[in-house]
Amino acid sequence: MFLEILFWLIILTVIYSFVGYPAILFFLSLFRKREDIKFVDYLPKVTLLISAFNEEKVILGKIKNSLQLEYSNLEIAIVSDGSTDKTIEICNQYTDKIKLFDFKENQGKNAALNQALKEIDCDLVVFSDANSIYNKDAVLQLVKHFQDEKIGCVNGRLHLITDEDQIGNGENIYWNYENILKSLESRFGQLISANGAIFCARRSLLNTMYNDIPNDFFIPIDILTQGSKVIYEPNAKAYEKTAATAENEYKRKVRIINRSFQLFLRYNNKMKGFLKFEFYSHKLIRWMIGVFAVILLVISALLSSETLYFILLLCQILLYTTGLMTYLVKPKSKFFTLPYYISLIILSSFKAFWDVITGKTYSKWSNLR
């Protein structure tokens, strides 16, 4: 009886996170008034802070794109965290137009950003990745919201440029779903995570970042706990290519989920009320999906003498087998996208959780493109 209750409790928890939580947000948002922010003569000093580590393939395009942005009071700064390729050589060609922080030692993204921020004097900081290409008005779209003193951070919208494969299709499905959640959470001024490709924060609210927590997760949560609002601006658009291989995407997700768990361990007691409700519903349950999947598989096997659980066991085996065969055979049909992507998420989240309980952290990032 206990195993059956646990089985269905896990099922309902996962369904709640992916379906129930958005439904609750949508219902509550019906009682929130939308506010349209218009462009005015508001041009605070902004620094576009670009993180780079061995980015010789993309850094030139990023520099040229940044120089074309439609914002007159913009400083462009590139933070190289121990690059060993031609990144610095390329950047040095533009030192009359950009500010370059060339840290020789690879110390970790946040450690490098912390050092750079000590030498940056501005009102707002736009955080960006080296492979993120912006629309010309992206910075304007972010900055316009800071006319409201209550706004502490604004997240833009990332559009993925994908190959027609299972990773690309899966990532597109995921990001479309995430963008819906971002829009809903933004209605309450409590968007709990940004995207490292494009988000902006008040310089005065930025605290020293932990090296084992993603900056695009740490900064919004830290700003929310200070009492300021974090919102989403879908018209501030950036574009990136997805990870080239399943192996790279797997490693990326393991690293991100593991680092996000570190934030939970440090900030759980600082989050209160609606923010904690959002955090648990949107993030924590999802990070546990790998553990949940293993528990469900074990319970199904133990109860497989009953017809229902035997069928459910076969469904799980079919899901993971399809995911594995899709990885090995790489069929073109989109029919295989969902089982493949679900299997990848489950495997990466379980590995990330295992790393957490065994004490492994990820302070440095590697170029997986």
pLDDT > 70 in the chain, percent: 91
Domain count, the chain: 2
Tens digit of each residue's pLDDT (9 = 90 or more) over 288-327: 999 999 999 999 999 999 999 999 999 999 999 988 888 7
State whether 61 and 123 are in the same domain.
yes
- Measure the CA–CA gap between 36 and 42, rounded to whole angstroms: 16
Torsion on CA atoms 45, 126, 29, 22, rounded to nearest 10: 180
Mean pLDDT, residues 254-258 taken together? 89
| Whole-number Cα distances in Å, 357 to 62, 154, 210, 287 | 38, 33, 19, 13
Question: What are 165's two structure tokens?
Answer: 């494969």
State whether 104 and 150 are in the same domain.
yes
Hunting for tokens 């950036």 — which residue is that? 238
Residue 254 lies in a domain: no
Residue 3 lies in a domain: yes
Residue 251 lies in a domain: no
State whether 342 and 281 are in the same domain.
yes
Q: What integer pLDDT is reported at residue 145 of this predicted model?
A: 94
- CATH code of the domain containing 190: 3.90.550.10
State whether 63 and 24 are in the same domain.
no
Q: Which domain holds residue 354?
A: 1-31+276-359
State whether 203 and 128 are in the same domain.
yes
Q: What integer pLDDT is reported at residue 165 of this predicted model?
A: 56
CA angle 281, 267, 230 (to 5 degrees): 65
3-state SS record for the chain:
CHHHHHHHHHHHHHHHHHHHHHHHHHHHHCCCCCCCCCCCCCCCCEEEEEEECCCCCCHHHHHHHHHCCCCCCEEEEEEEECCCCCHHHHHHHHCCCCEEEEECCCCCHHHHHHHHHCCCCCCEEEEEECCCEECCCHHHHHHHHHHCCCEEEEEEEEEEECCCCHHHHHHHHHHHHHHHHHHHHHCCCECCCCCCCCEEEEHHHCCCCCCCCCHHHHHHHHHHHCCCEEEEEEEEEEEEECCCCHHHHHHHHHHHHHHHHHHHHHHCCCCCHHHHHHHHHHHHHHHCHHHHHHHHHHHHHHCCCCHHHHHHHHHHHHHHHHHHHHHHHCCCCHHHHHHHHHHHHHHHHHHHHHHHHCCCCCCCCCCCC
The one-letter code for the residue type at 254 is: V
Tens digit of each residue's pLDDT (9 = 90 or more) over 152-168: 999 999 988 766 555 55
State whether 14 and 69 are in the same domain.
no
Q: How many CA atoms lie within 13 A of 253 on its CB side?
A: 26
Q: Specify the range with the lowest mean pLDDT, choosing from 139-143, 237-241, 276-280, 338-342.
A: 338-342
Residue 151 has pLDDT above 60, yes or no: yes
